[in-house]
Structure 1
């Protein structure tokens, strides 16, 4: 069942900037649960440019199909599990980083459990496709989860259309995303955004 979705899952990778300059070159072998079900994530993190990532669903139904593996670019930086679409089942977020990337870009790979029978991708729209969010954006994002929503923060840099406070580097933009259903899986949708000074 999982293999059916692997090509679509790979499309879910999106590039963003991050404050992390380097990812630790250490093996990751962790189990994360939401309630009684969740995922075991294993990644050797040996290579700077490419690594094998294995995801083993825990307490999923038999028809789910078992483990699946992906080749990821860079190294696995962190993992999170949450019920992002509020259906009572665990969803998985995996963040990767390219240690030698001068732009410090981070990739997010996100999947949603379909009643613990299969998984489908959760896509995040490219920030550069949003006329409002891309104003003053030059990366250095941080991400965290809050009450089931994905939160993204980044400094606003001087550029045409950016707030005046961005000129001195004291302006930050926060974007709140919620997960909504699409024809083939889910996507992160902007539900709230505001700028504030540090």
Structure 2
């Protein structure tokens, strides 16, 4: 991963193991919430029994399968008043990091799980949820890059995501028309997203794009 960041189809056996972990997580609502555990590495996300993220009384248990082009993430919220149901999410690739943050500063955390696809492109995607006033969670939507937009020009994957202060930052190399996959020569593009309420949930809105 880029050190320039500042602070911020599974086989049968894997599927069975993940289902068992999800069941265990859902069956133990009193699992202690960790204090200020704000990040999970790729190793922690795939290591039994789960990775724990926490912020005060609110937390998440995360467990991801790995080793396939399509994997699964089990995500269980903890400490909520109404709904602590586990979520099972299909991943196009492998989860390589998860972070807890409060981008909108409303006092309730969000969880961001970063995914990299299999193959030479390593296209990035995001799984994210926001806590709704301590009662439930709602998915956060990251709009895809518009093929007709300037930020899509030269894009061929290799995304990196990270929380930097109160923004989600996405970075990727810029490819020129004659560049080969492993040797982009067009520099780097960085997109900053702020978190806003949408019509039916939460959405990440690009508010700054820089190239260098």
- TM-score (norm. length: structure 1): 0.72
Q: Which residue of 171, 178, 186 maps to 2:187? A: 171
Hey, what does 1:89 align to over in structure 2?
Answer: 108
| 1:155 Cα deviation from its structure 2 partner | 1.6
Kindly tell me: are residues 51 and 175 of structure 1, through their superposed partners in 2, closer, same or farther at Cα, counting changes over 3 Å?
A: closer
Which structure exhibits the higher relative contact order, with contacts defined as CA atoms closer than 8 Å and separated by 6 or more residues?
Answer: 1
Mark the runs of 5 or more structure 1 residues left unpaired by the alignment.
1-22, 161-166
Measured after TM superposition, the shift of residue 31 of structure 1 is: 0.7
1:144-159 correspondence to structure 2 within 5 Å: 144-159=162-177
Deviations 1:115-174 (A, max 9, x none): 1211111111111346110112122221111112101111212149xxxxxx98152111
Matched residue, 1:120: 138
Residues 34-53 of structure 1 correspond to what in structure 2 (within 5 A)? 34-43=55-64, 45-53=65-73
Q: Offset of 1:52 from its aligned partner? A: 4.1
**CA separation of 1:75 and 1:155: change in aligned 2, threshold 3 A:** closer
Give unmatched runs, 5+ long, in structure 2: 1-41
In the alignment, is the contact (CA less than 8 A) between 1:54 and 1:67 conserved in 2? Answer: no
Structure 1 or 2: larger strand share? 1
Identify the residue that residue 193 of structure 1 maps to in structure 2.
209
Alignment partners' CA distance in 1, 2:184 and 2:70: 38
User: Alignment partner for residue 59 of structure 1, among 73, 79, 82?
Assistant: 79
CA RMSD of aligned residues (A): 2.6
**CA displacement, residues 45-77 of structure 1 (integer Å, 9 cap, x when unaligned):** 25514444322212211x22x231314234332
Structure 2 counterpart of 1:16: none
Q: Distance in 2 between matches of 1:192 and 1:37?
A: 30
**TM-score with structure 2 setting the length:** 0.67
CA distance in 2 between partners of 1:34 and 1:105 (Å):
30
Q: Distance in 1 between matches of 2:66 and 2:189?
A: 34
Deviates more, 1:150-159 or 1:178-187: 150-159
User: 2:186, 2:123 → 1: CA distance?
Assistant: 22
* CA offset digits 1:54-103 (Å, max 9, x no partner): 22212211x22x2313142343322111112321111011123344x332
- The aligned counterpart of 2:123 is 105
